[in-house]
């Protein structure tokens, strides 16, 4: 026995969850299934910088009421290089907006999505469950999933997998793969990838400050890697330190007091004195690009299609841009037989944004451990030039906040 859906989404992380909410917000008549390998208790230590467009999307989806108390606005961005002249200063006033974005803990966003998804009509939640088999036919896709065995009790929302059966089979017109950098869907389709291993890792932690951060986000290029300090609530900053694997290992071996001293020494005192740090987490850094955006009735989305280096803070924002584009395309093509056309339209609309984001991330990532006078000087001249040309700066800010070109409706202004 099987069930039939208009769309099956594989991957219930931030991208898959936002896609389910976005599609049903604009197309409530559609029947969706969402396959998520993680339980509701899944921990996520990331601290996410969401640009203006992404924040508008969360507002349109009705999540902001649950996020606002934990979301810290970014009013300005300051980018500089240790020991070099020139800096880029980007402000919300440059584009006549109230902010450039917000920094929000991923755990908070996950909880908001879990609450929202569990109350949505026309949505079948399957979790914890993972893809077992995918098979395409002329008019759609067969998907078979199996239960993920866990020590904890299966959540009550697993109605389709509870009981004696440990697998489930469904058919849909299209399948969206939002199952991450090591996508099972992508693997089963045989889609090859191009991988750039930067031999770098990112240390993520929270730094407590002696004085207020004034809602300024900093990115500092140093001899020891790139340090991002993003404003959080309660006089704290999200700290993301990207460095070579060897230097990351050295930093992680330090006691908290030594790490805090090293961080202060490398970053400087633009944020005043650092007084404490919280638990440190390490994430390996790679760029992974799928050689195809999908195949027939399957579309790859988010990290399943392209994993970017976090130095330009564009990965999740790009994925949410694709989510908004797909929701718009589905609204304009209500005939389900044209869903493959929707997938193609989404891939084409997102391509320019993807190319810009990928090139920027790759360019900056390659200079994290290159500290020659020539490369540093060229980078600083670029910073100084951008800071001195208001029109170019405005266009740059619009691009990196999702407000340039053909902006999807869910990225447009709301009451945020």
H or E segment to which residue 21 belongs: helix 14-26
DSSP 40: T
> For every one of its 416 residues, what pLDDT tens digit does the chain have, with 9 covering 90 and above?
578 999 999 999 999 999 999 999 988 989 999 999 876 656 788 899 999 999 999 999 999 999 999 999 999 999 888 876 667 888 999 888 999 999 999 999 999 999 999 889 899 999 889 899 999 888 889 999 988 876 444 443 444 444 445 678 999 988 999 999 899 999 999 999 999 888 999 999 999 999 999 999 999 988 899 999 999 999 999 999 999 999 999 999 999 999 999 999 999 999 999 999 999 999 988 888 898 888 888 989 988 988 876 554 567 888 898 899 888 888 876 565 566 666 666 666 655 555 555 555 454 545 545 554 444 444 444 544 555 566 777 777 777 777 777 788 898 876 55
List, in order of start, the domains of the chain with CATH numbers.
3-63+107-193+287-369 (3.50.50.60)
DSSP-assigned states of every residue in 219-232:
EEEETTEEEEEEEE
374 vs 219, 227, 381, CA distance in Å?
A: 20, 21, 11
Q: Which residue has the tokens 């970014």?
A: 74
18 CB-near residues (< 8 Å, 6+ apart): 57, 58, 61, 113, 320, 323
pTM of the model: 0.85
DSSP 260: H
Q: What is the token pair recorded at 380? A: 């600083």
Burial of 207 (0-12, 13-18, 19+ CB in 10 A): buried
Cis? peptide before 128, omega within 30° of 0:
yes
In degrees and rounded to multiples of 5, residue 43 shows phi and psi of -85, 140
Dist CA 278 CA 255 (whole Å): 12
Q: Is the dihedral of CA 384, 389, 392, 396 positive or negative?
A: positive
How open is the CA angle 123-124-125, to the nearest 5 degrees?
115
């Amino acid at each position: 026995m099987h069930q039939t859906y208009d769309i099956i989404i594989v991957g219930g992380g931030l991208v898959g969850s936002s896609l389910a909410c976005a599609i049903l917000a604009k197309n409530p008549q559609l029947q969706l299934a969402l396959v998520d390998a993680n339980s509701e208790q899944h921990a996520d230590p990331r601290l996410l910088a969401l640009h203006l467009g992404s924040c508008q999307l969360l507002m349109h989806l009705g999540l902001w009421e649950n996020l606002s108390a934990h979301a810290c606005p970014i009013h300005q961005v300051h980018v500089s290089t240790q020991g070099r002249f020139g800096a880029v200063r980007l402000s919300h006033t440059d584009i006549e907006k109230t902010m450039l974005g917000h920094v929000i803990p991923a755990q908070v966003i996950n909880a908001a999505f879990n609450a929202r998804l569990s109350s949505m009509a026309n949505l079948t939640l399957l979790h914890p469950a993972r893809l077992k088999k995918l098979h395409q036919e002329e008019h759609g896709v067969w998907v078979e999933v199996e239960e993920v065995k866990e020590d904890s009790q299966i959540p009550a929302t697993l109605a389709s997998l509870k009981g004696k059966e440990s697998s489930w089979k469904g058919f849909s017109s299209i399948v969206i793969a939002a199952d991450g950098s090591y996508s099972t869907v992508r693997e089963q389709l045989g889609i090859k990838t191009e991988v750039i291993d930067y031999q770098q890792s990112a240390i993520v932690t929270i730094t407590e400050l002696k004085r207020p951060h004034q809602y300024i986000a900093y990115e500092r290029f140093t001899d020891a890697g790139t340090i991002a300090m993003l404003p959080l609530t309660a006089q704290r900053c999200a700290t993301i330190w990207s460095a070579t694997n060897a230097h990351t290992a050295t930093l992680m071996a330090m006691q908290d007091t030594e790490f805090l001293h090293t961080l202060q020494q490398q970053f400087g005192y633009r944020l005043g004195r650092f007084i404490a740090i919280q638990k440190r987490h390490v994430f390996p850094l790679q760029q992974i690009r799928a050689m195809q955006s999908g195949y027939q009735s399957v579309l790859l989305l988010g990290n399943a299609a392209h994993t970017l280096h976090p130095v330009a803070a564009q990965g999740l924002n790009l994925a949410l841009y694709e989510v908004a584009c797909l929701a718009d395309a589905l609204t304009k093509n209500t005939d389900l037989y044209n869903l493959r056309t929707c997938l193609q339209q989404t891939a084409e609309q997102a391509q320019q944004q993807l190319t810009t984001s990928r090139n920027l991330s790759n360019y900056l990532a390659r200079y994290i451990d290159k500290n020659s006078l020539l490369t540093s000087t060229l980078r600083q001249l670029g910073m100084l030039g951008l800071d001195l040309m208001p029109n170019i700066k405005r266009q740059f800010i619009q691009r990196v906040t999702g407000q340039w070109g053909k902006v999807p409706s869910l990225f447009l202004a709301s009451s945020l």
